[in-house]
């Protein structure tokens, strides 16, 4: 295997990802987890709780720092998804014994609740299991302490870090350039919505981001076809 091929295996799989962004994501996640763990430990009711940091925060860090533009990495999905899912897990633990069935019900119900509340966040599935494994001995405060405080601290760290690194977080879709040439075949928002609906797939991108990207593609294609525009 050539050296070029070996290095190509490590190319980012996400569109738009650059090595510098990935390096920043690693640094941001390290700082975010460390700060969240440290502050959470200070808030712990006693020293026996140790780090007081739940495992789903590691998965949340991937979204918050590596793909901050993802709809699932925004503040409400991060906080609401983790808290609500942990609550589901605790409630299932109080309702039935720990088993493969209860684990499945906890995760399935967590996805349903996150979908209804528009807080879909992949680490929420892990948060549901954490709540379940915490067991019936845990109080209903568990989703808030430590899960909720962990999530809030992670979002705060992401907000501060992305302000310093120059990324938009919470993410706001960039507006389409005013005065840009519009080709005669330009699509409408209704066309885009219909195409997404007919595709039958779910995409991890804000429709406004997708529209801006496609309109920029149109503009570039028109400039290439008609130099001087």
In this prediction the pTM is 0.84
227 falls in which pLDDT band (50, 70, 90)? low
Same domain, 150 and 108: yes
Report the alpha-carbon distance of residue 179 to residue 181 in Å, rounded.
6
Domain edge (last residue) among 145, 165, 185: 165
Lowest mean pLDDT among 88-97, 150-159, 180-189, 203-212: 180-189
Same domain, 98 and 178: no
Q: For residue 96, give its domain range.
A: 17-165
Number of folded domains in the chain? 2
Same domain, 160 and 183: no
11 falls in which pLDDT band (50, 70, 90)? low
Same domain, 157 and 69: yes
- Residues 6 or more apart whose CB falls under 8 angstroms from that of 39 comprise 153
Report whether pLDDT(50) > 90.
Answer: no
Same domain, 92 and 60: yes
Check residue 137 and give its pLDDT. 74
Query: Is the CB of residue 208 less than 8 Å from the CB of residue 173?
Result: yes
Between 8 and 173, the more confident residue is 173
Check residue 73 and give its pLDDT. 96
Task: Summarize the confidence of residues 183-205 as an average pLDDT.
Answer: 84
Domain edge (last residue) among 136, 165, 194: 165
Same domain, 191 and 122: no
Report the alpha-carbon distance of residue 90 to residue 86 in Å, rounded.
6
Residue 161 forms part of a structural domain: yes
Least Cα distance to 211 among 184, 225, 197, 191 occurs for: 191
Query: Is the CB of residue 59 less than 8 Å from the CB of residue 29?
Result: no
Helix 75-95 and helix 149-165, axial crossing angle in degrees, nearest 10 = 160
Task: Summarize the confidence of residues 80-98 as an average pLDDT.
Answer: 96
Token couple for 167:
């990324």
Task: Summarize the confidence of residues 143-153 as an average pLDDT.
Answer: 94
Same domain, 151 and 184: no
Same domain, 182 and 113: no
Annotate 182-225 with three-state secondary structure: CCCCCCCHHHHHHHHHHHCCCCCCCHHHHHHHHHHHHHHHHHHH
Same domain, 107 and 188: no
């Amino acid at each position: 295997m050539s050296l070029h091929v070996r290095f190509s295996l490590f190319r980012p799989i996400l569109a738009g990802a650059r090595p510098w962004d990935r390096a920043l994501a690693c640094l941001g996640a390290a700082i975010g987890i460390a700060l969240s763990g440290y502050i959470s430990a200070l808030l712990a009711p006693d020293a026996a709780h140790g780090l007081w940091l739940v495992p789903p925060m590691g998965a949340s860090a991937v979204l918050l720092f590596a793909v901050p533009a993802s709809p699932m990495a925004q503040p409400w999905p991060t906080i609401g998804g983790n808290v609500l899912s942990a609550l589901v897990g605790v409630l299932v633990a109080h309702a039935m014994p720990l088993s493969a069935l209860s684990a499945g019900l906890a995760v399935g119900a967590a996805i349903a609740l996150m979908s209804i509340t528009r807080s879909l966040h992949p680490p929420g599935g892990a948060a549901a299991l954490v709540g379940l494994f915490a067991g019936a001995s845990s109080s209903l405060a568990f989703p808030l302490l430590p899960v909720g405080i962990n999530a809030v601290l992670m979002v705060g760290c992401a907000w501060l870090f992305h302000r310093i690194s120059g990324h938009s977080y919470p993410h706001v879709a960039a507006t389409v350039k005013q005065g840009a040439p519009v080709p005669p075949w330009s699509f409408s928002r209704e066309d885009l919505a219909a195409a997404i609906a007919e595709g039958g797939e779910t995409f991890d991108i804000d429709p406004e981001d997708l529209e801006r990207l496609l309109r920029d593609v149109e503009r570039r294609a028109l400039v290439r076809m008609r130099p001087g525009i």
